[in-house]
Amino acid sequence: MKILITGGAGFIGSNIADRYLELGHEVVIVDNLVTGQRENIPSEARFYEMDIVEENLRQVFEAERPEVVSHQAAQMDVRKSVADPIYDATVNVLGSLNLLQNCIQFGVRKFIFASTGGAIYGEQDYFPADEEHPLRPLSPYGITKLTTEKYLYFYQQTYGLTYTILRYANVYGPRQNPHGEAGVVAIFTTRLLKGQQPVINGDGLQTRDYVYVGDVVRANELALQAGDNRIYNVGTGKETDVNTLFRLLRRIVGVDTAEVHGKAKPGEQRRSVLDYSLIQKELGWNPSVSLEEGLRLTVDFFRKEM
């Protein structure tokens, strides 16, 4: 089938593109290259350098007529969303609506949406959070993801557009962007490899559910044929605090860099961990890569890149 991937030059999107091509699908990529990298784009994919908010996105749909849209593009920096919620909403809400309108006009069969499990639930009432947990996002980023989920329900009910929503935990792995504030695994890894000092925010006891990008790709593969009009968490069900993450990476890299703590970031979520039992039951998905194995694969990738 022909699949249009937004954000296909980015960390997660490019890994998905590689897998879809391996499976024999035809892949079209739309990416504005603000955070994506041209070198991530598979040579077999057709590429349009374009922003999803642009009116001429229509031309891509008109020319390519995709059967499936995999929407991975986003303004995904939580702190940037707090600093500039208007920009965040422009990309994440208006950009998604632009895609959805084109999907309806050009007969797209299915829409796979990369949502967030890390930010959509807010401070959790119980651990791990399942898909029925109350939705209380603490950031504009989380709010825009929830808004798009609600729009997808509207488009399904009104126009019959089939969707699958995947609420990612904290995804890490090869090609993750080590620049900026998001992506702690990539940031710590590159700094440790370069002999620089990583800084842990606050006491480092804040926890996240770290899921390897290869497992996320598998969830996107399964969503091509199943999970219609369903919402799934994609995580490991395991919490890891930042101090533990730093110590694991330090050992894997093979350095004795000091553990340095800086100021806590205001408004940062304290704990986040996802229950993946629904996607396990309905799609047969399981996280197959352990944290230590995934970190080793990530360190190996960045080591080769240097």
- Please report the pLDDT score of residue 79 as a whole number: 85
> How far apart, in whole angstroms, are the C-alpha atoms of residue 217 and residue 212?
9
pLDDT in tens, 66-77: 999 999 999 998
Q: How confident is the model at residue 215 (pLDDT cuts 50, 70, 90)?
A: very high
> Shortest CA distance to 120 belongs to which of 106, 132, 105, 104?
132
- Please provide the average confidence, as pLDDT, over all residues in the chain: 97
pLDDT digits (tens, 9 = 90+) for 92-122: 999 999 999 999 999 999 999 999 998 999 9
Residue 181: the pLDDT is: 60
CA separation, residue 285 to residues 54, 89, 282 (Å) = 35, 31, 8
* Closest-CA residue to 69 (of 3, 18, 165): 3
All domains of the chain in start order, with CATH = 2-171+211-234 (3.40.50.720), 174-208+238-272+289-305 (3.90.25.10)
Provide the 10 A C-beta neighbour count for residue 223.
25
Active site residue 126: no
Candidate list 20, 48, 121, 141, residue with the active-site label: 141
pLDDT of residue 180: 65
Give mean pLDDT, residues 32-44. 97
Tell me which H or E stretch contains 111. strand 110-116
Q: What is the pTM of this model?
A: 0.98
What gap in Å lies between CA 248 and CA 60, rounded to an integer?
44
pLDDT at 205 over 90: yes
Q: What percent of the chain has pLDDT over 90?
A: 95
Residue reference for tokens 């700094």: 191
**pLDDT tens-digit readout, 295-305:** 999 999 999 99
At a CB cut-off of 8 Å and minimum separation 6, what does 7 contact? Answer: 13, 30, 31, 36, 71, 72, 73, 74, 114
When pLDDT is averaged across residues 258-262 and rounded to a whole number, the result is 98
Q: Are 294 and 173 in contact (CB under 8 A)?
A: yes
Q: What's the pLDDT score for residue 267?
A: 73
Q: What is the mean pLDDT of residues 235-256?
A: 98
Q: Give yes or no for residue 45 having a pLDDT over 80.
A: yes
CA distances in angstroms from 38 to 42, 51, 177, listed in the order given:
9, 14, 13
- Collapsed DSSP state (helix, strand, coil) of residue 47: strand
